[in-house]
Amino acid sequence: MLQLNVIRENRDRVVQGLKTRNFREEDLGLVDKAIALDDRRKEVQTSLDEAKAKRNSLSSQVGALFKEGKRDEAEQIRKEVSGLKEDIARQEEELRSVEAERTEVLLQLPNIPHDSVPAGHTDEDNEVYQAWTSELPTLGGDALPHWELAEKYGIFDLQLGTKITGSGFPVFRGKGARLQRALIAFFLDEASKAGYEEVVPPLLVNEDTARATGQLPDKEGQMYYVERDNLYLIPTAEVPLTNIYRGDILSVDDLPVKITGYTPCFRREAGSYGAHVRGLNRVHQFDKIEIVQIAHPEQSYAVLEEMLLHIGGLLTKLELPFRVLRLCGGDLGFTSALTFDFEVYSAAQERWLEVSSASNFETYQSNRLKLRYREGEGAKPQLVHTLNGSALALARIIAALLENNQTPEGIVIPKVLQSYTGFDRID
RNA sequence: GGUGACGUGGGUGAGUGGCUGAAACCACCAGUUUGCUAAACUGGCAUACUCUUAACGGGGUAUCGCGGGUUCGAAUCCCGCCGUCACCGCCA
């Protein structure tokens, strides 16, 4: 959520940002509407506070007068205060409704894109930030897509998952399951080496948590929901990991906070179908190692750069061809100021698969999280910047590994993984 | 799930209707004193919103788990919810 004072002070920049996101002309008015509602809120707040101050001072007189035995005077003031009650109640009601309306409007405003975000409408318009300069691997005409390889080598079984749960819930078996575990261990070890604290968070979260990182209300339909207990299955570890610090005031010395966690991720992916979502390209449950940083506002873009290097390093170690995209305004997530996507080239499908997304949310999340830091002793608390990235998402990495590494003798496991898998090929 | 106890500031903990935004102690910060350190002493030490100020600052409101109620006035009384702990039940 954007801060109102930021909107006030940078009104034109906010409007410009919405345009970068291709906001409809009629919705640009939301910015001024938010400001107007906040003006009204201030008015009511001030007038309500005055009424309450009067009540409080009169009330304390009542007590004093009673003690002095001046019953009549006390009685008179008491009646006067009684009259104030109605007025206070009415103003409280108005304050509540103005605040609710203001929040409603603020929730509809996405983050302001960073200056470097290119204009554009779809993923076609994303800017190639770091291209793959070597040659892309080519496989012969008999190369198989990963879903066929999976069947051939018994790596995972989607039909079995359908029997147990429903479509989009793969069952990994044998060496496939082992490969999965190897990747998780590898990614976590790499994150630890890079200074991230490893965390095992809950997989179900409550409403407050889902709201604080921005999944509610804008991505409600994307999450599985357990109605009986009013809990949501996490779509990404970002949600519980970032919420660890919800409401906290950190010292500047604590920054940056670096945490990582492996979790399964659950996504309903409502409305997705077609050839591009075959196999592991898009599933309802997949495993992901997430890295999260809570950073000083002045450091956050350097931190984002550091995260990109970390993620790129993983792909390099896995010997996968990849490129990095800077998302355009139209493709940028609602809460993000700047996002880079990592795509791995899948040689058999001859297309790029998104395997990671790293974003700087600046203060958009921290404002909802009420997550702040203090510059020094006694300094006023300020919002931190939050960032996160996948490092990495497993399903599509496996898809790419299977496809790119297929040989007539089976699927070759990259060297770095061999000590984790305990085998060097799947055949 | 059942029964009982409890929920106060960074921590311990006092406080049963007004003088309590909250004692005291600990921790922390600054200063004084002192060969150094330690000790002692003095002072400071919540957050949000809001008004005011060029600024430093000052004023107001709210917050004692959360939400409602009673009252001129609530940390304190009443109701609901949530949580923690103990015992029982169940259980990886």
Determine the protein residue whose CA lies at the shortest distance from the C1' of B73.
A59
Give the residue with minimal CA–C1' separation from B71: A82
Quick: pLDDT tens for A354-389.
999 999 999 999 999 999 998 877 788 999 999 999
Residue type present at position A262: Y
Centre a 10 Å sphere on the Cβ of residue A234 and count the other Cβ atoms it contains: 28
pLDDT of residue A271: 58
| Whole-number pLDDT of residue A239 | 94
Q: Is the pTM for the entire model greater than 0.90?
A: yes
A380 touches strand B (CB under 7 A): yes
Q: Which residues of chain A between 55 and 74 are close to nucleic strand B, CB under 7 A?
A: 55-60, 62-63, 66
Which domains does chain A possess?
Answer: 4-107 (1.10.287.40), 123-426 (3.30.930.10)
Lowest mean pLDDT among A11-20, A63-72, A289-298, A319-328: A63-72
How large is the greatest C-alpha to C-alpha distance in chain A, in angstroms? Answer: 103
What integer pLDDT is reported at residue A273 of this predicted model?
Answer: 60
The pLDDT tens digits for A297-339 are: 999 999 999 999 999 999 999 999 999 999 999 999 999 999 9
| Residue of higher predicted confidence among A266 and A64 | A266
Strand B-proximal residues of A, range 17-46, CB below 7 A, are 38, 41-42, 45-46
Mean pLDDT, range A210-226, rounded to an integer? 86
Could you check: is the Cβ of residue A381 within 7 Å of any atom of nucleic acid strand B?
yes
Is the CB atom of residue A82 positioned under 7 angstroms from any atom of strand B?
yes
Rounded average pLDDT over A152-166: 93
- pLDDT above 90 for A70: no
Instruction: Name the residue type at position A21.
Output: R
Radius of gyration for the alpha carbons in chain A, expressed in angstroms and rounded? 27
User: Is it the case that residue A29 has pLDDT exceeding 90?
Assistant: yes
Sole residue written with tokens 């919405």: A18
Name the protein residue, with chain letter, whose CA is nearest the C1' of B45. Answer: A378
Closest CA to A32 of A3, A55, A46, A12: A12
A290/B68 CA-to-C1' distance in Å: 41
Protein-to-nucleotide distance from the CA of A136 to the C1' of B88, whole angstroms: 67
| Mean pLDDT of all residues in A24-29 | 90
Say yes or no to pLDDT of A274 above 70: no
Structure token pair of residue A415: 């060297």
**Which positions on chain B have an atom < 7 Å from some protein CB?**
18-19, 29, 47-51, 59-62, 72-73
Q: Evaluate if the CB of A52 falls below 7 Å from strand B.
A: yes
Q: What is the pLDDT of residue A303?
A: 97
Average pLDDT over residues A263-290: 83
Predicted confidence at residue A85, as pLDDT, reads: 87
Q: Is the pLDDT of residue A188 over 80?
A: yes
Query: Which nucleotide is closest, CA of A62 to its C1'?
Result: B72
